[in-house]
A and B are shown apart, each in its own frame.
Chain A
Amino acid sequence: EIVLTQSPGTLSLSPGERATLSCRASQSISSSYLAWYQQKPGQAPRLLIYGASSRATGIPDRFSGSGSGTDFTLTISRLEPEDFAVYYCQQYGSSPPAYTFGQGTKLEIK
């Protein structure tokens, strides 16, 4: 089973700053199978990035994803107040199909 480890656990930044969130897989995965989600308190998660770098419908271009193999990154170029939330990476494994999430990174206002 592939384990996803996100870092840092908590990231404290100010609006307007750049955020860099990391997701490391315990073994190499296809970039196609890596996604990022945002979750605000009391809300369902929202798909931000799929295929490691493709933005989902309606996601602002300040969100970008990158990476390959075992190391993936979510970057928010310039933080808006509504970006402070918890972010999860997620991967798909086949044979049989299974889906795992990282433990999450909490992005909080400094």
Chain B
Amino acid sequence: QVQLVESGGGVVQPGRSLRLSCAASGFTFTNFGVHWVRQAPGKGLEWVAVIWFDGSNTYYADSVKDRFTISRDNSKNTVYLQMNSLRAEDTAVYYCARDWLTWNFDYWGQGTLVTVSS
């Protein structure tokens, strides 16, 4: 079955960096794009970034552009989110999700919590 497992969350000070990982299994990883979507405590969903199936294209929300970088290692079936210059407003549960038809997210991981606090 399709599985996405996030890891790498934790508590980090403002201005520092953190890298999240999303390990995929149960499907042909190289056929699918992968997104990161976040949810601040008690708030709604916010799309963060996407990487194409072959890594050829990446896109970001304005709120994270120039600070976050999405990448993938198809030999490890893993997608990464490098988060630099973290701010308090980046505090959220970060989900990775498989792209469906380019327009949707059909499978989601269980999420990993990132807390930015001094």
Contacts and interface: CB of A to CB of B under 8 A. Distances in A.
Interface string B87-118: 00000000101001111111111110000000
Contacts of A56: 106
A51 B104 CA distance: 9
B59 A45 contact: no
Contact of A47 (B45, B50, B104, B109): B104
A100 interface: yes
What size tier do the contact residues of chain A reach?
20 to 34
B95 A44 contact: yes
Interface residues of B, number: 23
A88 B45 contact: yes
A7 to B, nearest CB: 14
Nearest to B96: A44
A84 interface: no
A97 to B, nearest CB: 5
Given A32-B103, A98-B59, A98-B61, A45 B108 contact: yes
A72 interface: no
A51 B105 CA distance: 12
B13 to A, nearest CB: 27
B47 interface: yes
A96 B60 CA distance: 9
Contacts of A32: 103
A103 B45 CA distance: 8
A70 to B, nearest CB: 17
Given A44-B109, A44-B111, A96-B59, A101 B104 contact: no
A92 interface: yes
A90 B105 CA distance: 10
B110 A44 contact: yes
Interface in B1-38: 35, 37
Given A45-B108, A50-B103, A99 B35 contact: yes
Interface of A: 32-33, 35, 37, 39, 43-47, 50-51, 56-57, 88, 90, 92, 96-104
Interface of B: 35, 37, 44-47, 50, 59, 61, 95, 97, 100-111
